[in-house]
Amino acid sequence: MSLAEQMATVTDAAAGTVDRHATTETFESTDPATGAVVGVFPVHDARAVTGTVGRARTAAPRWAGLGFDGRRQRLAAYRGHLARQVHELADLVHRENGKPHADAVLETALAIDHLAWAGAHARRTLGPRRVRVGVLAANHAAYLEYQPLGVVGVIGPWNYPVFTPMGSIAYALAAGNAVVFKPSEHTPAVGAWLAAAWRAAVPDVADALQVVTGAGETGAALCRAGVGKLAFTGSAPTGRRVMAACAETLTPVLLELGGKDAMIVDDDADVAAAADAAVWGAMSNAGQTCIGIERVYATSAVYDRFVAEVTERVRGLRPGSDDQAAYGPMTMAAQTDVVRRHLEDATSSGGRAVLGGTVDDGFIAPTVLLDVPESSAAVQEETFGPTLTISRVADAEEALARTNATSYGLAGAVFSRSRARAMDLARRMRSGMTSVNSVLTFASVPALPFGGVGDSGFGRIHGEDGLKEFTRAKAITRQRFRLPVDLMSFSRPPAAADTLARVVSLVHGRRR
Ligand code: NAD
């Protein structure tokens, strides 16, 4: 099939979702395991992006005007559609991203759960409410509500092409915004599928969720298209470029960036459970998980047992593209080079790979690295591959200090049987999210905010904070009755200031 024919197929199949506009340039997305073409998509230029945002801007008041109930109903129809087609979507994710079908089903199920939560909690979180007035405004009523921003631009990565963008899309839509989504150039078919599903499930406000396709320049055009907010998920270097582009038009940004998450295994931890969780946290999705575990700090008391438990489990893992494989190929060829560089740096600086360390045609063997110096790239930089460094520390305090010593601060995990100790370590971990005695769990709790600190970005998706992120707070006061003396009037009597001073002294003056 020629490129033009393939493009026509994709466009038609998506029922107009990927509108070509005047674009003639195209790009392919390919199966990382086989190189087979999954789809051909237009490279949307600035004009096409502006046109799409314009359509979204027209749809936005209608979408907002549906109110919380109308939107909740339509978000329910959308999640119903995703749930019924989950295998079709998972198959597409498998072909375009490379992850096992079962992992793609899990990812979609999580996204559906977030859609349900966002729809169900938007009114309570954002809807109008009265707030208490202070002494100085006792004759007024005060109201607070959170209003939508209009159109939200969402730029997504390829590693969780359903779950990750949905963390912004679901919450932005539930808050009353229209959305223009630019999926990664490595997973455009998944993005197009999600938009086509929206058109099918919500035909009366189909333009409330649209997709533009292309690489970095298309994303940059979305930053400059005058959206109300730009939600970016991707790497820290690109995040800096996105923020700079958004600064040109003072477009607010939400940045969900990379991580170098660590697990702390304390003296009293369930070592087998910690090892099991570390292996899943490090190797699932070929390690291409922003909140994946890349480093473990195990105390001397448990280090040897922990290493033995991890290596036993990792020995049983096999990468591949079949249903039995533990994880798939690296989605992006360039990431393989990053992993290779980290492995070389780790081993040349005194570390050793007790397992793995090999790269075979896009598949990286599960790799366990010991004795890697803290200064090594494998400990400091995001590796984004199926690798794990394990370091021996004297105690949990040393583990925490090392955990907190990178520029990233996305998430992490603590394993300890002492609830008080584990909670204390979790609180002091410099990260946006921490799970105790498990890994990644916070991402599956829709009520919990998701986001990082430092080079991992700022702003929050998920939960009430995630809903508020896509709104602006609106404050209103309404005078209920006039006071005999109006302090904010040039007609106030000269004695009013003395009376006010006495009242303030009575109310606050006793405080020392
Ligand atoms: P990336 O930064 O290369 O690309 C992300 C997106 O930005 C893509 O859609 C890309 O086309 C677009 N883009 C590139 N240049 C741009 C520009 N100048 N202006 C606007 N958009 C531009 O990231 P990636 O390789 O797709 O994803 C992997 C990264 O994402 C990892 O660092 C990972 O940790 C991170 N990530 C973070 C989270 C989180 O929630 N914190 C979740 C998933 C992935």
Residue nearest to atom 21 of ligand 1 (CA): 219
Indicate which atom in ligand 1 lies nearest the CA of residue 245.
19
Structure tokens at 98: 């490379």
State how far the alpha carbon of 205 is from the alpha carbons of 11, 49, 57, 407, in Å.
20, 19, 12, 42
**Gap from CA of 166 to ligand 1 centroid (Å):** 14
User: Ligand 1 center to residue 456 CA distance, Å?
Assistant: 12
pLDDT of residue 17: 60
CB atoms within 10 A of CB 444: 16
Residues of the chain with CATH 3.40.309.10: 261-447
Q: From first to last of its 512 residues, what are the pLDDT tens digits of the chain?
A: 334 444 444 444 443 468 888 888 999 999 999 999 999 999 999 999 999 999 999 999 999 999 999 999 999 999 999 999 999 999 999 999 999 999 999 999 999 999 999 999 999 999 999 999 998 899 999 999 999 999 999 999 999 999 999 999 999 999 999 999 999 999 999 999 999 999 999 999 999 999 999 999 999 999 999 999 999 999 999 999 999 999 999 999 999 999 999 999 999 999 999 999 999 999 999 999 999 999 999 999 999 999 999 999 999 999 999 999 999 999 998 999 999 999 999 999 999 999 999 998 899 999 999 999 999 999 999 999 999 999 999 999 999 999 999 999 999 999 999 999 999 999 999 999 999 999 999 999 999 999 999 999 999 999 999 999 999 999 999 999 999 999 999 999 999 999 999 999 998 999 89
What residue's CA is closest to ligand 1, atom 14?
Answer: 216
The 10 Å CB-count burial string (b at 16+, else e) for 472-484 is eeeeeeeeeeeee
**Kind and range of the H or E element at 41?**
strand 37-42
| Contact (CB, 8 A) for 411 and 258 | no
| Residue 158 alpha carbon to ligand 1 centre in Å | 8
Centroid of ligand 1 to alpha carbon of 491 (angstroms): 59
Which atom of ligand 1 lies closest to the CA of 456? 41
3-state secondary structure of 453: coil
User: Residue 404 and residue 407: Cα distance in Å, rounded?
Assistant: 8
CATH code reported for the domain at 261-447: 3.40.309.10
For a ligand 1 pocket test, name from 164, 238, 246 the mutation site with the most ligand atoms within 8 angstroms of its C-beta. 238
Q: How far is the CA of 198 from the centre of ligand 1 (A)?
A: 23
* CATH 3.20.20.70 fits domain 71-257+452-475: no
Pocket test for ligand 1, best of 155, 232, 384 (most atoms within 8 A of CB): 155
Closest CA to 54 of 150, 182, 171, 166: 150
Q: Where in the chain is the domain with CATH 3.40.605.10?
A: 71-257+452-475
Nearest residue (by CA) to ligand 1, atom 30, is 234
Q: Which of 97, 217, 233, 260 is the best mutation target for the ligand 1 pocket, counting ligand atoms within 8 Å of the beta carbon and taking the most?
A: 233
234 C-alpha to center of ligand 1: Å?
2
What span, in angstroms and rounded, lies between the C-alpha atoms of 324 and 326?
6
Residue nearest to atom 28 of ligand 1 (CA): 234
Catalytic residue set:
256, 290
Q: Which pLDDT value is given to residue 1? A: 39
Testing ligand 1's pocket by substitution, the residue of 97, 185, 235, 253 carrying the most ligand atoms inside 8 A of its CB is 235
pLDDT of residue 164: 98
What is the rounded CA–CA span in Å between residue 324 and residue 314?
15
| Ligand 1 pocket, residues with Cβ under 6 angstroms | 155-160, 164, 182, 184-185, 215-216, 219-220, 223, 233-235, 238, 241-242, 245, 256-259, 290, 382, 384, 410, 452
Supply the residue whose CA is at minimum distance from atom 4 of ligand 1.
234
Q: Amino acid identity of 197?
A: A
183 C-alpha to ligand 1 centroid (Å): 9
Closest residue by Cα to atom 1, ligand 1, is 234
Q: Which residue has the tokens 């984004």?
A: 384
Residue of the CA atom closest to atom 43 of ligand 1: 290
* Contact predicate 183/190, CB 8 Å: yes
Q: DSSP state, 327?
A: B
The pLDDT, as a whole number, for residue 22 is 83
Distance of CA 327 from the midpoint of ligand 1 (Å) = 21
Atom in ligand 1 nearest the alpha carbon of residue 184? 9
Q: Say what the pTM is.
A: 0.95
The residue whose CA is least distant from atom 8 of ligand 1 is: 184
Ligand 1, atom nearest to 335 Cα: 25
How much distance in Å is there from the Cα of 393 to the middle of ligand 1? 33
The answer to whether residues 376 and 347 touch, using CB atoms and an 8 Å cutoff, is no
Closest to 139 measured CA to CA, from 475, 476, 474, 486: 486
Question: Which atom of ligand 1 lies closest to the CA of 223?
Answer: 20
Q: Which of 96, 288, 290 to mutate to test the pocket of ligand 1 (most atoms within 8 A of CB)?
A: 290
Indicate which residue's Cα is closest to atom 22 of ligand 1. Answer: 216
Kind and range of the H or E run holding 347 = helix 333-348
